[in-house]
Amino acid sequence: MLLCFTAITFTFSSCYRKKDTIAKVTVLDSAGLPVGGASVKLYYDDGLGTTPRENLEQENSTDASGIATFNYNDLFKSGQAGFAILDIDVNGQVKVGIIRVEQEETSEESVAI
């Protein structure tokens, strides 16, 4: 009986599964239409000229619906409060927007170029 109780306790206490920490950026043209194949870069810049957090920098291309998806699962640690506010560059245009990436959520932002 005690063995069963112990096994159940350990099984249920380790049920927490970390959720995905994802950032999605939708790129639109001036007419509001999605831009496929755009190069999108997310990165951290504190504006003080200090060493950037290069581990946060990711680059991806948009799909046919204008969406670039970034996965930050490897960088987020369970119990961490908040994650990051990142700058968005598109096709070499610097800081066309920012995105607040929330821990264990899918954060979305749209930018127009």
- The pTM score is 0.80
pLDDT at 71: 95
| Nearest-angstrom CA–CA distance, 6 and 3 | 5
Q: What is the pLDDT along the chain (113 residues), one digit of tens a residue?
A: 555 555 555 555 556 577 899 999 999 999 999 999 999 999 998 777 665 666 889 999 999 999 999 999 888 666 555 688 999 999 999 999 999 999 889 999 999 99
pLDDT at 46: 78
Full DSSP string of 5-69 = HHHHHHHHHT---PPP-EEEEEEE-TTS-B-TT-EEEEE---SS-PPP-GGG-EEEE--TTSEEE
Give, as one character, the DSSP assignment of residue 17.
Answer: -
Question: What domains does the chain contain, in order, with CATH numbers?
Answer: 19-112 (2.60.40.1120)
CA nearest to 98, candidates 79, 106, 30, 90 = 90
